[in-house]
Amino acid sequence: MKTPSHIPSSDPELLERLAEEYGTPFWIWDADVLRARINAVVSTTDSPGVQARFAMKASPTTKVLKEMKSAGVWIDSVSGNEVLRARHAGYSDGNTPPEICFTADVFRDNALQTVLDEGVLPNVGSPGMVGDLQKAKYAGPISLRVNPGFGHGHVNECDTGGPSSKHGVWITEAKTVLDAAEAAGMQVVMLHAHIGSGPEFDELHDNLSRLTDEFAEIVPLFKDLEAVSLGGGIPHNYRDPDADIPVERLRDLFASAQRKLSEVAGKELRLEIEPGRFYVAPGASLVARVTDVKSTETNEKGPGVTFAMVDAGFVDLVRPAMYGSYHRITLPGVNDRDDVPVVVAGPLCESGDVFTRDDSEMLQPRELPEPKTGDLIVLHDGGAYGYAMASNYNSLGRAPQLWRESDGTITQITRRETIEDILRLEE
């Protein structure tokens, strides 16, 4: 499927008007783009016994969660507060059905108490969590996250399967954890694994097929099983906005996996998937202002570069600084200037506050129309882990999020954070 082409981040007059009204930087969501991605995922799960979830860590804003809820997409949460945010957005408590699943390797802060209070399905990723639940006198259903021994993140730091991954119980230890859970009066009603979003769709397709086979080997051990989750991992192409991602191929794979796993279980099982990034990545862009353009000169330490200084930084979009992740960058409405190599850098008191880096964290100038002070600049495809990972470093407030509806209306879904908001925690 392809992303709709009428993205508001391409409309220079609209962006300039919004910049005047709300200031920069700001986030702009496109409802049509988000809904197209939601519909693409849901269309792969319209076979009997197949259910989609959203890994809400990618974008937990209430407006986004309500869009998921209206499309019948369930939630995978990873903290007690994410459970409560999902409840705030209208999702049901309890586990019949388990609209909210809580996945973790550690119970932190209010997580354990929230599981108890809200009755959501806990998906345990460490053996010790069974003991934590037992101490809390929990004797309900649980899900067990296993590490199948393979998988691929979009970068090495995001690997979610294999010997270097902290997530889940090694698959050969699943029976041991099952025995401990049953001895504590719990029923393992779901098996779960997440093998990550590799760089190529065919890799994901092959890994999901392999994961189904791995689950088929252990499913008969779990007599109380009701569901199996294949996790998420549908890749998003950050470099090519016109890339055709053949998600429709997953429909037959999911239907076949549901039938196979139900057959080996001797009863009907629900098959779940839980993408995060794919739903939301293209739905939002970060809009900033070029505040200055300056250059360094070549010397014995290396080549000189031209810096486009902008008022957005890794407090707004941390992925390039954290992973060397690539985001497309455009200067909307600038069509009459030659391209030049530019490093796009932010305002933070950190040398690493740079948006144009490679995966080795080295500066990687981008060929862009020659920037000038006052230009707007857009960092695209920031809907996944953009605002969700924003921070208050340097005591900066998080930028506002705006929402463009299908009819062109713009609403503010989160306001700009102020120093009063930040200091309120210290009072």
Q: What angle do CA 293, 287, 417 make, to 5 degrees?
A: 110
Q: What angle do CA 395, 400, 402 make, to 5 degrees?
A: 170
Please state the φ and ψ torsions of residue 112, each to the nearest 5 degrees: -65, -45
DSSP β-ladder status, 169-170 and 227-229: unpaired
DSSP SS3 for 104: strand
d(CA 404, CA 337): 29
Active site residues: 349
Per the CB < 8 A criterion, the answer to whether 52 and 278 are in contact is no
Instruction: List Cβ neighbours of 414 (8 Å cut-off, separation of 6 or more).
Output: 61, 387, 398, 400, 401
Per the CB < 8 A criterion, the answer to whether 367 and 341 are in contact is yes
What is the DSSP code (8-state) at residue 266? T
User: Distance of CA 369 to CAs 102, 213, 334, 383, Å?
Assistant: 46, 50, 7, 24
Torsion of CA 137, 89, 98, 47, to 10 degrees: -170
Per the CB < 8 A criterion, the answer to whether 160 and 146 are in contact is no
Identity (one letter) of the amino acid at 13?
E
